[in-house]
Structure 1
């Protein structure tokens, strides 16, 4: 077995590979850029090598820099993770020339299947159903428009060397095809060093289901069932699960056998994933093959008990597979939620900054299931604008899908993240959404259910009452502490009353609290009673309560006269007052937010790529005003209404913070 492996990647996937290598007794080498000098994967590895400046184009995707780190460390093998150089045949060739093992497939397989244009041609020649499209290279935006009209809108514009949603756009019109072609080309160049683009028909109402395969160099190949990856935003997967709630055993077997046959046809070895679009009648169409480890591989590991990273390492070492297709079972259900550094209340735009608090739920057993969290960050660490915004993958397993969802709900509520914008509230909302719970999902789920973006969650009345009762009980604990601190010298404490008004989500709840040693009984004005127990004390940022015997986890922040509560995707300001205070508060005027209707504000930290207008220009509703790049994604900012540009405050190349004024209107 290898004695030392270099991981040519960063973040959570580098940490993930290190964990398995450590368990196998293999030493690890991390590589890092200027921005990652203090990163978690650097700390976890046995040794680390600096490879350049913060931009990936000057560090992680520079083959010579990685080769230099290999020579310096004496590593015998390289695991590429995903993204960066993982599907770059030139990198695999460089390793082969150096006599270093590549923990991945052979160069020819990468070239054949890693390139989406070539892979579709091979699949078509092999008789595999493929989505209609244009597989040739596209010269410019006008040719992209011509091809799009020939195929018929809507179309998908994709980077040939792409992955992870980068370099991908959906176009419904000629103008969107022009813009999408240029943005996809730019993103592909900066993310993969390859700006080739192709176009295919966008199949409406599809499900995205992929098959995990394992093949060795001895002619053995098998599939490890499927993963449902239909919940996507901007073509980037957000929630994955295994198995799929849609497939039947016959379709699963047909897709699996076809995936293995395709892999064998190109001499594939290592772990790989064959992606399919599946329609409502369970017809499936080959999309592409990812010749690497997928981001969502943990859910497959959780239902099969097979460590994919270990299998990749053993295959790279020349060992045959020791498992057969009959050994692969489906044990229970697993769900993965991707935690992104992005603000769901600002259109999911990237967020950067310091993690002032980062406390994931404890890995291990929870509510009859299991929690797993693959992460590459730590409390106090910095989220950089230079890399992908995903910072953790929260996974749960349970015997059934219903139980796995419930464990995930509680795990999300137990996840504490502060200092940056993050999508935990959105993930919690998805886990409670009736369509997701029923399994009736497609890749259009987010667009259909959140057409105006995510504006938070409005909890139903029973859930609000539970939170109101819990906050009333917590406030009583806080009042008792305050009364003791402010007690007189002769130890006479201020009496804490039992009548309170709890205000949240625009509703006042008049309650009376009867407390005992075990907890509190909270009585509402209509006579309903809720029993609250728990061990919360002032200062704790997580309250684990039981409400009428049911678990309730609240993220708790302090605000004047109450709490900032986050629960099940809702972000609530809960005010607890005495009846007299509540009466007076109703007389106070409401403070109005400032008027920003005549300003274009930068919605996220980023770099201005292009200003599309000039001062004095008249702009129309929906017109592109400028392009801002953040975390390897280009974002086009458009006019919300008709107007005239009065002043432009930023130019191409400027670095902007959130809410910086880009331009003003008359």
Structure 2
């Protein structure tokens, strides 16, 4: 029996494991680094043990410190979560050697399937379909070029010990190889302490579909259905769903059979995920096996009603799986959006710092949120950028999309940048709603990057009504303060001009109970709300439809930034005469006087690509900074000449530091 469990992880996954362990009556011990001493997972645990400085190599990846923490606390078992040491067979072996129960598969199964080269060889023996490639460690760029030429471009460079989208690069030409090979090996070494790299043929426009399996120590196996994980950026999943709208029953059964055959080949037990790429003709090819709990496991739990973490713990205790394949019932549809601390409009650069406002949407049977942060907490430069996952569940895919959209409307995060607007842009795209997916979806839909969703008729109408309501509510307050309440509505007036991102909309406004009747362009809108001034979330009813919008005050409350369905729109209210004059106000180019290149993130400088005297062009890479376990390229916003380089490789820079000075 497991009476106490040490969670060798942090963030949302540590919190999620803690909740299930508590439900099972198991005492939970957290571990934490310097950076995480005030983190949510530390607060939720029964006990917490300090394991070292902020860098993961000195704390969460330090095997000896984790084992020592387990011994000090008297933990019966260790759950590694995902990432960090979860797929490190040496760690699993060390846990076993110290008489501690490892919540996961055997060390030998992790070794076999964690080595991507050996895993493909085993898959071939188990008669699982695989992709062509070079099954060996490639040590030099010259060797990589030779192999790529033989296979034919495009190819995929991959870390042998990789996972979670780290240590992966698509290479389409010889010219791309140098930077791709270097970055792949660097990310592999930094994330997995193993820089080995191999090559496989890259399949164009595939879907990424994975099968969730469970096995016990008595040779029993079940498949818990599939997950569609095709919406990816840089090979890291962004949105996942279960089931897949693409698979037919015949293909699904084939994938089940091959997945179980592979699990049997390595004597696998616990939860595991077999990942496949699937072409447009439904041919599928083994990609890798993740010998751990997946980030996206909640969508499977929602459509099956099972607690995968609980089943992992029961399997580790030697129990027989309580379910057979005939007991697995896939019901409804679930979609998960990963919320990352990053700025989508600035090339998805990671965002670090303090969360000044944090408010989750209300949860219900249709919404599940797994998070690891809280208001006032910090997002550190040392760890992964994901801060939360929000999942919706409904009878149909369309309804699940709608529910997830509504939840994201109400999710308020301030102080750091986040990707909620990007998630909503994807959910609202026609292609996503049709289920026309591939791993190239984001590259194809946002070729020039993401600058925010474009206003459509519904969004512009809703934002215009909301802006009018907020501004007039504020003006009504002003009349109250100056003791003019009786004439407030007359003082507010009926004719106004709302400017949305520089587009002017003349409106006529008349007060109604709890709101206004707004007329423009021969249309009428009735907006009502009990919204209070200063609240960051406006929940309102417009023409009998309910909406939630986020309100940000700018420029001393004379301008609003309103967020709705992935759209961020600047709104200002004018009198008709003020609107007429405002059109002649000069607009300044914010980039025209740039003299310095500042760091947009905190992290370690791993490459400087220019020297004093170099002439640079707009968009040219200047400095590469490693943050949140990923390499981020700082580019120039202007053309110019380098006067000075103020940083060097190995230095730690902070947000706003001047990296390059321009003449």
TM-score by length of 1: 0.96
Asked if 1 retains the 8 angstrom alpha-carbon contact of 2:154 and 2:202, the reply is yes
- Give the superposition deviation at 1:19: 0.5
Which residue pairs with 1:519 in the alignment?
515
Q: Are 1:545 and 2:560 matched, yes or no?
A: no
Aligned mate of 1:467, from 439, 463, 467: 463
RMSD: 1.9
**Which residue does 1:647 correspond to in 2?**
644
CA displacement 1:314-366 (0-9 Å, x = unmatched): 0000000010111111111000000000000110011101000111111115x
Contact kept in structure 1, 2:459 and 2:564, CA below 8 Å: no
Shift of 1:418: 0.5
Task: Find out whether 1:509 has 2:530 as its counterpart.
Answer: no
Secondary structure of 1:629's aligned partner: strand
CA contact (8 A) 1:228 1:242 kept: yes
Residues in 1 aligned to 2:638 and 2:33: alpha-carbon distance in whole angstroms: 42
The aligned residue for residue 51 of structure 1 is 51
- Paired positions, count: 660
- Asked if structure 1 preserves the Cα contact closer than 8 Å seen for 2:605 and 2:653, the reply is yes
Structure 2 CA distance, aligned partners of 1:585 and 1:440? 44
The answer to whether the Cα contact below 8 Å between 2:359 and 2:412 also exists between their aligned partners in 1 is yes
User: Which of residues 624, 628, 637 in structure 2 aligns to 1:627?
Assistant: 624
How far 1:603 moved relative to its partner?
A: 3.4
Give the SS at the match of 1:161: strand
Question: Aligned equivalents of 1:545 and 1:63: distance in 2?
Answer: 52
| Structure 2 partner of 1:297 | 297
Match of 2:579 among 575, 582, 601: 582
Partner of 1:149: 149
User: Residue 162 of structure 2: SS of its match in structure 1?
Assistant: coil
| Correspondence for 2:275 | 275
Q: How does 1:442-521 map to 2 (within 5 A)?
A: 442-487=438-483, 495-521=491-517
User: What is the aligned partner in structure 1 of residue 181 from structure 2?
Assistant: 181
- Mark the CA change 1:596 to 1:606 in structure 2 (over 3 Å): closer, same or farther: farther
Query: Which deviates more, 466-475 or 88-97?
Result: 466-475
Equivalence for 2:550: 555
Offset at residue 645 of structure 1 (A): 3.4
Matches within 5 A, 1:157-556: 157-365=157-365, 370-487=366-483, 495-524=491-520, 526-556=521-551
Query: What is the alpha-carbon distance in structure 1 between the residues aligned to residue 593 and residue 303 of structure 2?
Result: 50
Shift in CA distance, 283/598, structure 1 to aligned 2, threshold 3 Å:
farther
Is the 1:28–1:46 contact (alpha carbons within 8 Å) kept by the matching residues of 2? yes
Residues 147/643 of structure 1: CA separation in 2 closer, same or farther (3 Å cut): farther
TM-score using structure 2 length = 0.96
Counterpart in the other structure of 2:605: 608
Distance, in Å, in 2 between the alignment partners of 1:389 and 1:102 is 27
Q: Give the deviation of 1:285 after TM superposition.
A: 0.3
Aligned position for 1:567: 564
In the alignment, is the contact (CA less than 8 A) between 2:185 and 2:197 conserved in 1? yes
Q: Helix, strand or coil for the counterpart of 1:61? A: coil
**Alpha-carbon distance, 1:620 to partner:** 7.6
For 1:204-260, what per-residue CA distance to the aligned partner results, in whole angstroms no more than 9, with x for missing partners? 100000000000011100100000000000110000000011111111111112101
Q: Structure 1 252/117 Cα, relative in aligned 2: closer, same or farther at 3 Å?
A: same
Q: Distance in 1 between matches of 2:208 and 2:157?
A: 17
Q: 1:529 to 1:625 in 2, by over 3 A?
A: closer
Rounded to whole Å, the distance in 1 between the matches of 2:591 and 2:194 is: 45
Distance 1:622 1:125 in 2: 48
CA distance in 2, matches of 1:97, 1:659: 48
State whether residues 376 and 392 of structure 1, in contact with CA within 8 Å, keep that contact through their aligned partners in structure 2: yes
Q: Is the 8 A contact 1:223 1:257 kept in 2?
A: no
Quick one: structure 1 residues 137 and 314, their matched pair in 2 at CA, closer, same or farther if it must change by over 3 Å?
same
SS of alignment partner, residue 479 of structure 1: helix
Partner residue, 1:18:
18
Aligned-residue offset at 1:477: 2.0
CA distance in structure 1 between the aligned counterparts of 2:224 and 2:189, rounded to whole angstroms: 33
Q: Does 1:75 align with 2:71?
A: no
Post-superposition offset of 1:664: 3.8
- 1:302–1:90 CA distance, 2 compared to 1 (3 A): same
Shift of 1:612: 3.1
Q: In structure 2, do the counterparts of structure 1 residues 229 and 138 end up closer, same or farther at CA, with 3 Å as the change threshold?
A: same
Distance 1:178 1:496 in 2: 64
Cα distance change on mapping 1:588 and 1:35 into 2, 3 Å: same
1:170-225 Cα offsets, whole Å, 9 max, x none, are 11122322222221111111111111111111111000000000000111001000
| Paired residue secondary structure (2:163) | coil
Q: Distance in 2 between matches of 1:139 and 1:327?
A: 48
Which deviates more, 467-476 or 279-288? 467-476
2:513–2:528: 8 Å Cα contact kept in structure 1? no
1: CA distance, partners of 2:588 / 2:70:
60
CA deviation after TM superposition for structure 1 residue 590, in Å:
2.1
In 2 relative to 1, CA 596–233 (structure 1 residues): closer, same or farther, beyond 3 Å? farther
Separation in 2, partners of 1:287, 1:88: 19
Q: 1:621 to 1:504 in 2, by over 3 A?
A: closer
Supply the distance in 1 between the matched residues of 2:335 and 2:283 (Cα, whole angstroms): 24
- 1:640 deviation in Å? 7.6
Structure 2: distance between partners of 1:270 and 1:576: 59
Change (3 A) 1:510 1:652: same
Query: What is the distance in 2 between the residues matched to 1:645 and 1:24?
Result: 61
Is there any run of 5+ residues in structure 2 with no aligned partner, and where? none
8 A contact 2:514–2:530 mirrored in 1: no
Q: 1:594/1:137 Cα in 2 relative to 1: closer, same or farther (>3 Å)? A: closer
558 and 636 in structure 1: CA distance in 2 versus 1, 3 angstrom threshold? closer
| Deviates further, 652-661 or 310-319 | 652-661
For 1:622 and 1:509, the matched residues in 2 are separated by 35
